[in-house]
Amino acid sequence: MSIKKAKRSKIHPQRHADQIGGLGVIFGRLPVHPEHQTNMSVTCWQAFNNITQGESTEEHWAILAASINASLILAERGLGTLYVPYVTTALDAMFECQQRGNRTGAWRFTGPGMNAVRDALEVIDEQLKHVTQDQMRQALIEVERRQEAGPFYTYTENREAA
């Protein structure tokens, strides 16, 4: 006598399918991959360290400027709105650094400027933990659009008085 076996179900309860069928990848709803987060963060911090240690070039300044500009766009769009003042203060410091670099060739921060950029880098690190691929792509597109339209950011010499 043969024993009838129950028909096996092809449903695997331990496997969970993405409810949007993988379209999150297409639409960029996935977070930035942790390895990419680390690479972006390390690149920014290395550029910052090079500037603070006096071993900088315009390229180091450009890395920080692009990152801080993208951070401002993300903050304006709701990812860290409370931190906009930190980012704008860092952009002031970046402007001063650019002026000094163009005038003397020394790409350095003032003491308060260094602290402002350090604070902005900490904001960027937090934003990287929460930003999606699409949000990051759109922020970079907006940075490029604003740069092509003219000055990205208007420097205010004495922001408290403004």
Domain limits at 52?
32-149
How far is it, in rounded angstroms, from Cα 98 to Cα 55?
A: 15
Q: Which residues contact 131 (CB under 8 A, 6 or more apart)?
A: 31, 32, 74, 79, 139
How far is it, in rounded angstroms, from Cα 157 to Cα 142?
A: 25
- Crossing angle of the two packed helices 58-76 and 34-52, in degrees rounded to 10: 130
Number of domains in the chain: 1
Q: Which residue has the tokens 């597109």?
A: 141
Residue 161 lies in a domain: no
Tens digit of each residue's pLDDT, the chain (162 residues): 566 666 666 555 555 444 444 554 555 567 777 888 888 999 999 999 999 998 888 999 999 999 999 999 999 999 989 999 999 999 999 999 999 999 998 899 999 999 999 999 999 999 999 999 899 999 999 988 988 887 666 655 544 433
pTM for the structure as a whole: 0.76
